[in-house]
Amino acid sequence: MLFTCALLAQLCSFATDSSRIKLIPEPVMLKELQGNFNLNKQVNLVIRGEDKQLKGTAQWFTNQLNAMTGIDIKAGDLGAPNNITLELLTTHNKSIGEEGYTLSVTTSGIHLQANTPAGIFYGMQTLLQMVPLRDTVKSTATRFNIPCAEITDYPRFGWRGLMLDVSRHFFTKEEVKRYIDEMVNYKYNTFHWHLTDDNGWRIEIKSLPELTQKGAWRVERVGRWGTFAPPQPGEAVPYGGFYTQEDIKEVIQYAQERYVTILPEIDVPGHSLSMIVAYPNLSCTQLQYMVGPGDSLRKKNDNVLCIGNDSIFTVLDKVFTEVAALFPNKYIHIGGDEAYKGFWEKCPKCKRRMQTEHLKDVHELQSWFVKRMEKMLLSKNKKLIGWDEILEGGLAPEATVMSWRGMQGGITAARMNHHVVMTPWDFVYLDLYQGEAAAEPPTYGMCRLSDSYNYDPVPDNVDEKYILGGQGNLWTESVNTFRHVQYMTWPRSLALAEVYWSPKSKRNWDDFINRLEAQFPRLDAAGVKYARSAYNAIATPARDKKGELKVSLTTEIKGLDIYYTFDNSDPDPFYPRYNGQPLTFPKGAAQITVVTYRNGKQVGEQFAIKKEELEKRLLQGRHIY
């Protein structure tokens, strides 16, 4: 029996509890071996292969190791014992590609090989996850024992991204750098910077200073986004900020040093209120607005560029000339999502454009606009990427589609032989609830950790070669602070890191949770906030044959005990334990209160749900539970 388990564990190479190595994302091949490499003051770092960027990367690694262990490893001689050797291969190892690596840890040394400095960098992320946390091992001599192993690893997708919306709420360049630091620990390589939207223009455009003078500032509101009072005429606009071009260059370089490409997004022709505030003549109504604070009037706001007005292209050319010059990425994201078309239908200039260009409806008008934008970008040697609405009315010839309203846009585009980046909202939108709403800060929708983990970016019957990869997207309407950015990002982006890096055959939820729980103390040590919502109970309403409300309790993470009460008191292990059978509300009970425990220790948050709320969720059809 013992033999079978050990054999199985080795065959599957899933991290069993006896595994000493718990990595995220799971590598392609991991063979755990007996023994340890002892990291101590005598260990040297050796670089084989001349490369300027690799030198910087080695310094980055030395700093990380020092922060974790207090040990300051020095540059050493080739061939000396007790080395960590970083080797840039002179003969290309085809099997690991541009971002892969091999890592060998033996009792006498560590050897990290890759074809590129990026590969070395990803190998370093793996190695750092194998270094024990300072406080977990008490004996000083063996404190930093790194378990012996052989690892071969490379990513499934070349595009592994996270998007941060800095328009709805502004995050400083230091916070953006910190976000990049946190991303790279899990081998993300693309930072999608949502730089403009109705609620703030965040990038300096030198030829159009009004964009940031006027468009970067709004009235201050705190509370529930979407319910705020609209800005009052003459009200002060203290909230906001923007990045100067020097700031942007600094962040680009910072990202490059960490092998991260930045995808800039300028969201047009919709979501353009902050641009229209600066240049009111660019909208169909030409009215003067104020930057939106998250008020309830967004749909009535004229936040869409007037496609019939030629001056939008003069302005956009100036914007995209500067954006193209700043960002080395071959892609620029032009948005294209959720453009309200009601003003175009009534606008004489837009109607004239439709006539002269023989466009049968406003969808074709939008498509005409996107095609013109593509020509503009191509003239600047850039490729266009946009949200999946750019399919409507006809896709621009070389456009890449970012599929967000589910997978369908991506499927359609891939079948037309266009490249696709998958970001279906119900699996990767990091602004959604990550567990029972009663236990979370208010937002909308639901995307649990397991939803993110179990999704696959390549739909059936789609050629994988068109799927460049995917992202997690964090919209920040309800995210006011960087701490909350972290809370919403982690751990769902740990799940997504594995979806985008690891082979699909390695996907295993229970194993992931086992490894995730080894990451939590690392995030704690690094001061990164994360959600523990996956430990919370899930209350699912149903109706029995007699029409009576029933509630079932489950958990995403297996093996937890759920305790509950109907009498408004706080449940604990002395209360009834949920036994898997749907529960009926006792007469008079207005709510159920639940909590989860593991081995007698509370692990999930206690929360209560009213009976009427469960009834409402049943009626709504689309549930938040």
Q: Please give the residue ranges that form the binding site for ligand ACM (CB under 6 A).
A: 337-338, 387, 404
403 in Cβ contact with 457 (< 8 Å): no
d(CA 298, CA 285): 15
Give the Å distances, CA to CA, from 61 to 122, 132, 519.
Answer: 11, 15, 19
* DSSP-assigned beta bridge partners for residue 387: 402
d(CA 347, CA 340): 13
- Name which of 110 and 432 has its Cβ closer to ligand ACM: 432
Choice between 146 and 350, CB closer to Zn ion: 350
Using the 8-state DSSP alphabet, how is residue 231 labeled? P
DSSP tally for the chain: helices H, then strands E: 18, 28
Half-sphere exposure (CA, 13 Å, Cβ side) for 188? 27
- Whether 345 sits among the annotated catalytic residues: the reply is no
Q: CB 404 → ligand ACM: shortest distance, Å?
A: 4
CB of 177 to Zn ion, least distance (A): 40
Binds 306: which of Zn ion, ligand ACM, none (CB < 5-8 Å by kind):
Zn ion
Q: How far is the CB of 366 from ligand ACM (least distance, A)?
A: 14
Q: Does 350 bind Zn ion (CB under 5 A)?
A: yes
**Which partner from the list ligand ACM, Zn ion, none does 349 bind, CB cut-off 5 to 8 Å by kind?**
Zn ion
Quote the least distance from Cβ 339 to Zn ion, whole Å.
Answer: 12
The alpha carbon dihedral of 488, 494, 499, 505 has a sign of negative
What gap in Å lies between CA 281 and CA 289, rounded to an integer?
11
Residues 279-318 contacting Zn ion, CB under 5 A: 284, 306, 308
Site string for Zn ion, 553-582 (x = CB under 5 A): ------------------------------
User: DSSP class of residue 229?
Assistant: P
**Closest distance of CB 389 from ligand ACM, Å:** 8
CA atoms of 264 and 330, how far apart (whole Å): 10
Q: Toward ligand ACM, which CB reaches closer, 181 or 338?
A: 338
Contacts of 412 (CB under 8 A, 6+ apart): 391
**Among 20, 298, 318, 349, which residue interacts with Zn ion (rule: CB under 5 A)?**
349
Binding-site partner at residue 337 among ligand ACM, Zn ion, none, CB < 5 to 8 Å by type: ligand ACM
Among ligand ACM, Zn ion, none, the one that 284 touches (CB under a kind-dependent 5 to 8 A) is Zn ion
Let me know: does 312 contact 373? Beta carbons within 8 Å: no
Sequence letter at residue 323? V
Amino acid at 530: Y
User: Using CB atoms within 10 A of its CB, is residue 378 exposed (0-12), middle (13-18) or buried (19+)?
Assistant: middle
- Angstrom distances, CA of residue 565 to CA of 538, 553, 592, 608: 15, 12, 6, 9
Catalytic-residue membership of 338: yes
CA 179 – CA 160 distance, rounded (Å): 14
Q: At its nearest, how many Å lie between ligand ACM and the CB of residue 293?
A: 19
Contact 414, 462 (CB under 8 A): yes
Catalytic residue, candidates 192, 271, 418, 419: 271
| Interaction residues for Zn ion, span 484-503 (CB under 5 A) | none
Q: Which is nearer to Zn ion, 58 or 275 (CB)?
A: 275
Residue 435 binding partner per list Zn ion, ligand ACM, none, with a CB distance cut-off of 5 to 8 Å that depends on partner kind: none
Q: Minimal distance in Å, beta carbon 198 to Zn ion?
A: 18
What is d(CA 127, CA 477) in angstroms, rounded to the nearest whole number?
37
| Dist. CA 326–CA 249, nearest whole Å | 7
CA distance 287 to 233: 13
* Candidates 220, 235, 250, 338; catalytic one: 338
Strands 420-422 and 400-403: parallel
Residue showing the smallest CB distance to ligand ACM in the complex: 337
**Cβ 268 to ligand ACM shortest distance, Å:** 13
Instruction: Specify the stretch interacting with Zn ion by CB under 5 A; choose among 234-242, 276-284, 382-390, 507-515.
Output: 276-284
Residue 428 interacting entry, from ligand ACM, Zn ion, none, C-beta within 5 to 8 Å by type: none
Look up 197 and say whether it is catalytic. yes
User: Which of Zn ion, ligand ACM, none does 338 bind, CB closer than 5 to 8 A by kind?
Assistant: ligand ACM
**Do residues 541 and 549 make contact, with C-beta atoms less than 8 angstroms apart?**
yes
3-state DSSP assignment of residue 275? helix
By beta-carbon proximity to Zn ion, the closer residue of 150 and 361 is 361
User: C-beta of 309: minimal distance to Zn ion in Å?
Assistant: 6
CA 196, CA 212: separation in Å to the nearest integer?
Answer: 10
Report what 613 binds from ligand ACM, Zn ion, none; CB cut-off 5-8 Å by kind.
Answer: none
Cis omega (within 30 of 0) on the bond before 293? no
404, interface contact from Zn ion, ligand ACM, none, CB < 5-8 Å by kind: ligand ACM
Q: Smaller CB distance to Zn ion: residue 94 or 358?
A: 358
User: Nearer to ligand ACM by C-beta: 25 or 469?
Assistant: 469
* Piece of 26-34, 349-357, 555-563, 577-585 that binds Zn ion (CB under 5 A): 349-357
Q: How far is the CB of 387 from ligand ACM (least distance, A)?
A: 4
Q: At 529, is the secondary structure helix, strand, or coil?
A: coil
Smaller CB distance to ligand ACM: residue 279 or 387? 387
Which of 624, 613, 573 has its CA nearest to residue 590?
613
Residue with Cβ nearer ligand ACM (305 or 354) = 305
154 vs 387 by CB, closer to ligand ACM = 387
CB 48 within 8 A of CB 88: yes
Report what 387 binds from ligand ACM, Zn ion, none; CB cut-off 5-8 Å by kind.
ligand ACM
Task: List the catalytic residue out of 197, 295, 477, 556.
Answer: 197
Using CB under 5 A, pick the residue from 203, 219, 347, 421 that binds Zn ion.
Answer: 347
Residues of this chain that interact with Zn ion (CB under 5 A) are: 284, 306, 308, 347, 349-350
Residues tagged active-site: 197, 271, 338
